[in-house]
Amino acid sequence: MITIEKIEQMQACIMAERQKGKTIGFVPTMGYLHEGHVALLERARKENDIVVLSIFVNPLQFGPNEDFDRYPRDFERDYKMAERAGVDIIFYPSVPEMYPHEPSVTVKVHERVDVLCGKSRPGHFDGVATVVTKLFHIVMPHRAYFGLKDAQQVAVIDGLIRDFHFPIELVAVPTVREDDGLAKSSRNVYLSEQERQEAPALYAALQKGKALIEAGERDVETVRKAIVHHIEQHTTGVIDYVEVYSYPELKPLETLQGKIILALAVRFTNARLIDNIVMNVQ
């Protein structure tokens, strides 16, 4: 496994591998890896000759009052996890390497962004789409792996790849969870002991919503309210949103039918957690 910090070197290295006919699998991350990332890396390992992991905490996708400076970083730990997962190349650029000056061009995302996390994070997905565009040109992968835990991000990247015709296959990988159901996240470390005990209630609330639908409920608001109620009863967190939309279009629904997403975001003292279930309704 090698670590590359420079864009030019990364491009030259990939060009050489592609020339040899090798396939490239790419897992873009902000580091502080957990089993969710490992699931992406393992999937990429299975499907490609070369696996590239990028670690870059992208300032462009953080709002002015968000946790860019506080975002957890631990390269040595990431390095060991990457090695165990069979990564070939870690791309680990600095902020000045990726943004030597104010960006003169950025990607603007017009759809699938004014809801869920995008609603309370204006410009967030523009920042994500911009850095992913840059990374795609630097790593030139055949396949890119994203976790379904951030289902809105998957929807946005799907639109980016399709509308900009990137010759890249998007692979969406299911959310990895703790034994108690809590979705793995780099931000879980910020939960207090009590909050950590409450946090599995988020997934339980989504499952409750799913069970209602499976039992025949088709009214959006009834399902939404049941999820809200469960969170309020079982956690001290403050609900940012609980929504039920079509997926991946993320449009409001008249009635529950087709591919849908149940999604939530809840703020605890020092961490905002998100989770979702995507399901098909007959």
Residues at the interface with a second copy (CB under 8 A) = 7, 11, 15, 19, 21, 102-112, 129, 133-134, 137-138, 140, 159-160, 162-167
8-state DSSP, 247? T
Of the pair 72, 103, the CB lying nearest a second copy is at 103
Tell whether residue 30 is among the known ligand binding residues: yes
Tell me phi and psi for residue 92, to 5 degrees: -135, 70
Tell whether residue 137 is among the known ligand binding residues: no
Of the pair 36, 248, the CB lying nearest a second copy is at 248
CB of 260 to a second copy, least distance (A): 20
SS3 (DSSP) at 104: coil
Tell whether residue 94 is among the known ligand binding residues: no
Tell whether residue 116 is among the known ligand binding residues: no
CB of 268 to a second copy, least distance (A): 33
Note if the bond before 100 is cis, omega within 30 degrees. no
Residue type, 259: K
CB of 7 to a second copy, least distance (A): 6
- Annotate 7-70 with DSSP letters as a single string: HHHHHHHHHHHHHTT--EEEEEE-SS--HHHHHHHHHHHHH-SEEEEEE---GGGS-TTS-TTT
8-state DSSP, 71? S
CB of 280 to a second copy, least distance (A): 23
| Token output for 164 | 């900009």
Tell whether residue 37 is among the known ligand binding residues: yes
The whole-angstrom separation of Cα 255 and Cα 220 is 6
The whole-angstrom separation of Cα 196 and Cα 212 is 26
Q: Is 37 a catalytic residue?
A: yes
Of the pair 21, 216, the CB lying nearest a second copy is at 21
Of the pair 143, 230, the CB lying nearest a second copy is at 143
Catalytic residue numbers? 37
Numbered residues of the known binding site for beta-alanine: 61
Give the residue numbers of the binding site.
30-37, 61, 147-150, 153, 176, 184-187
Instruction: Enumerate the known binding-site residues for ATP.
Output: 30-37, 147-150, 176, 184-187
